Each structure stands twice: as structure tokens, then as C-alpha cells.
Structure 1
Amino acid sequence: MSASVFIPNDRPEEPDPEIGNLAFFPDISLAAFRERMKVLSDLPEGRVVWQLKRAVMATNRELHDWRLAQEAEGFLTLTDIPQEEYGDEGKLTLLYEAAVYHRAKGLLTEAGRDIDLTSEGADATDFADEAIEDHFRHVREALAEIIGRSSVTAELF
């Protein structure tokens, strides 16, 4: 026999915070990051926000010279730059978010590798290493496309 239990929650749902950004780049939505990158809600918000902020800072640092060149051309925000539109979002915004989201997911995965190194733990670590590499490859590809540099990925054996 099974029984279910309902535990009421009187607390109103708080909106997920936005990660503030430089005026040129869009703010980052915690909710959109969690949804698009399949980051479960049981991962503490503080940890996720911390890694998103680190990802925003690192991505902005890598785009610093490109951003200054765009501002010198008179473009005050990323959305001011003429670009292809996909639905209601511009290509550059989608690429910027991809760079930030994949970097943050890679950082979260890297930080979460506190696993015993039994044979099962070693297998999980190998899988995590591959996932981390994939996330950082996606970051490099998105940044290369934003700045207009061709991207080549070569796997060495």
C-alpha cells in the first residue's frame, strides 16, 4: 500500500534573480540558465549565481577588445549591432548567452566532482571531464563566432 503526503508551502515563490551585467551586454536570467542548461533546482541558488557571475566576468574579459571596437563604431549595446534575428532574439545575444551558459555549466560541473575514486567514481569522473571539455569547446565556438574568427576543432590522438 502506498500513501502520498502533501506538504503545504505558504511561502510565495520568489522570482529567480537576474545577474547584472555591463551596459553593453544583456543581463543573465538564472531561470533561463537553469531551463536551457538543465541545471536542477536542488543545486543551491548561491552556488549557481556565483558560477554565473564568474562566467559573465570571464566572457566579458574575452570580448573586451571586440566590445570596445563595437562601441567605437557607435553601437552602445549588443542588440544595436545589425544581426540576424531568430524569433525574438538576435544571433549575437544567443551566442553571448551560449558562451556564458556553457562556461557556467562547465564551472558547476568542475566544482561538483567531489566523488570517491572507486571504479564507479572514476567512471563518473571521466564522464564529467568529457562534459566539462564539451562545455568549454562550446564557449570557444560561440566567442569565435561573435568576433568573426573562424573556429576549428581538432582532436589529437
Structure 2
Amino acid sequence: MSFLGSTIPPTAEEEPPLANDGFAPAIDLQAVRAAIRLDGTVTPPRLRHAVTAAVLEVNAAIADWRSTQRAAGYDTLAEVPCPRLGEQSAAVLAYLRAVYASAHAGLVEAYRDFDTTGAGDKRAEKLELSADALRRDSQWAIADLVGRRRTTVELI
């Protein structure tokens, strides 16, 4: 039995977009794969699972803000007034950044247990730092989206 997978990325037919809640955009899994530099070693079902978890996590984090936007008459994230970069809304870009970073963190954590040699232990430590940075990036993107400051300071 081999653990080696194909390094050829799947086609769009093999990896259709992930539908979302109607407010946030559907997630193009091919775009996720390109943005976080994944090849075919991450199978379509594993990527779909990681992105689904990320979408649920981000949607839960912005639920109150989303309700406020819908109450203000904005039916989709793309309709929320904000700066634009080319054809894209900054809100949509922040949402996608949060989902991509969260999905990437989940994949890093899931794939770190394949190599349990001494070198694998050292690599796992580096991946843990990487996963932490990706989770931070996701939280920062959510903060940017909802207009919250990125840093919380509390006196003890």
C-alpha cells in the first residue's frame, strides 16, 4: 500500500465549487488549491472537507455582522458597501482570505502526522507554527471584514 498520491491537481469537473449560505460566495476549490499552493496530493474529498469546515467556522464568526448587513438591506456580501479592488469587493476578498487561511491551517494540521521520524518531529514543530500563523491570518481577515480591530489588549 502506498501513501504517495498524484501531484497533478484535479480538474474543475472533479472538484466542483462548494455552495455557501447565499450571503457569502460559493467557494471555487480550484482557486483555493491555487491560492494555497496545493497539488494533487491533497485529494478532492480532503480539500472539500477542510474548506467546508473553514466556511462553517468563518460563517459562525461573522453571523451577527451578517445579520446586521441583511437587516440593512444587503442580501449578499458583494453588495455590502466597501472599497473595491478591481472587480472584487474588499469584503469578499477578506471573506475568502479567512476561509483559505482556515482551510490551509486545517490541512497543515491534518497532514503533519504522516512522517513520524525524527526529521518528521522537527517538521511537525514548524508546521504547528505555520498552522498557528494561518489561524491568526484567518482571524485577522474576519476582523478586517467586520470592522473590528485586530489586536485585543487587556490589563490583568
| TMscore range, shorter length | 0.7 to 0.9
Counterpart for residue 147 of structure 2: 148
- Offset of 1:14 from its aligned partner? 2.4
1:53 aligns with 2:52: yes
Write out the 4+ residue segments of structure 1 that deviate beyond 3 Å after TM superposition: 115-118
State which structure, 1 or 2, has the greater radius of gyration over its C-alpha atoms. Answer: 1
SS at match of 2:102: helix
What is the rounded CA distance, in whole Å, between the counterparts of 2:52 and 2:115 in structure 1? 29
Residue correspondence of structure 1 range 55-70 to structure 2 within 5 A: 55-70=54-69
RMSD between aligned alpha carbons? 1.8
Deviation at 1:152, TM superposition (A): 2.0
- Correspondence for 1:35: 34
Q: How many residues align?
A: 143
List per-residue Cα deviations over 1:69-119 (Å, max 9, x = no partner): 100111110111111111211100000000000000100111111144433
Partner of 1:85: 84
Which residue is equivalent to 1:5?
Answer: none
Unaligned runs of 5+ in 2: 1-10
Q: 2:107 maps to what in 1?
A: 108
* Structure 1 residue 15 displacement after superposition: 5.5
Give yes or no for contact 1:102–1:138 (8 Å, CA) kept in 2. yes
Unmatched segments (≥5 aa) in structure 1 = 1-11
- In the alignment, is the contact (CA less than 8 A) between 1:34 and 1:41 conserved in 2? no
SS in 2 for 1:67: helix
Give the CA deviation at 1:40: 1.3
